[in-house]
Structure 1
Amino acid sequence: MGHPLIDRLTDELGWPRLTTREELAAFTETGVTALFLPGDPRRNLESADVAVILPELRIAFQRAFDCAVVDDAIEAQLREETRVLKTPSVIFYRDGQFLGGIPKVRDWDDYIARIPQILSAEPANAA
């Protein structure tokens, strides 16, 4: 991805970097997952902000979801499928089903309010 704060997620925190549809399907297949779609961190300065916020959110929600970074190779296709078009964004799945997403960087209170709504939602049948 080319940004130290995004690379930290995979290098230091051990989050997988999903580069293929197969890796994406395997990662989201069971449990609750949050996928970080950073976009181009050279053009979008908010990407680094979300890279710092998401690990803190995972802790705040007592690790209720596992996280991964979505690679450029499949990011555009995933954005189209989920209709979460802006980056950076965080997209949530439960047992392989798309639940919802939060585009762009938000303030902490917005994340704290929206994530429980998304996690308690019925899966949207993404075509």
Structure 2
Amino acid sequence: MSHPLIDRLTTEMGWPLLETDHDVADFTNRPGVHVLFIPGDAKRNLETADVAVILPELKLTFQGKFDCAVVADPIEAKLREATRVLKTPSLLFYREGVFLAGIPKVRDWDDYMSRIAQILAMPTPETA
């Protein structure tokens, strides 16, 4: 990871850094909606730093409707494949352990606002 804007999310803002499948399960199975930030390679993808700045603003704008965590490099690929959200950076939305939707790449503010509102309004899919 090692980009100052990503590191800031876990150090200054206190967001969890999810390093194992167990960490992801613990975080996403709690009550409420949870957003996992998959940064990708910040050195190769300039959008990663943009999303690292945008996500805290989205969290503030939606006033506690979701909490956030950062996904560590070792489990990024597995999560992207499991959710079929393959592009990075991406935001993965979960409610009580169930994947709802993802938003890949940088979007404009209005797109984030409408997509996140739609995701938050979705019913939780039934688990098999």
Tell me: CA distance 1:75–1:126, structure 2 relative to 1, closer, same or farther (3 Å).
farther
The 3-state SS of whatever aligns with 1:102 is: strand
Instruction: Give the equivalent residue in structure 1 for 2:37.
Output: 36
Residue pairs, 1:13-92, within 5 angstroms: 13-30=13-30, 31-92=32-93
Secondary structure of the residue that 2:13 maps to in structure 1? coil
Q: TM-score, normalised by structure 2?
A: 0.95
Tell me how far apart the structure 1 counterparts of residues 126 and 47 of structure 2 sit (CA, whole Å).
Answer: 29
- Cα distance, 1:125 vs. partner? 6.6
Query: Under a length normalisation based on structure 1, what TM-score does the superposition of the two structures give?
Result: 0.96
Tell me, which stretches of 5 or more residues in structure 2 are unaligned? Answer: none
1:17-64 per-position Cα deviation (integer Å, ceiling 9, x unaligned)? 000000000000022100000000000000000000000000000011
Instruction: Give me the whole-angstrom Cα distance separating, in 2, the residues matched to 1:57 and 1:91.
Output: 14
SS at match of 2:101: strand
Distance in 2 (CA, whole Å) between partners of 1:84 and 1:125 is 20
> Structure 1 123/80 Cα, relative in aligned 2: closer, same or farther at 3 Å?
farther
The answer on whether the counterparts of 1:19 and 1:70 sit within 8 Å (CA) in structure 2 is: yes
The aligned counterpart of 2:111 is 110
Question: Equivalents in 2 of 1:125, 1:43: separation in Å?
Answer: 38
Q: Percent identity?
A: 67
List, as ranges, runs of 4+ consecutive aligned residues in structure 1 with deviation greater than 6 Å.
Answer: none
Q: Report the CA distance between 1:123 and its aligned residue.
A: 3.6
For 1:126 and 1:6, the matched residues in 2 are separated by 32
The runs of 5 or more residues in structure 1 that have no matched partner are none
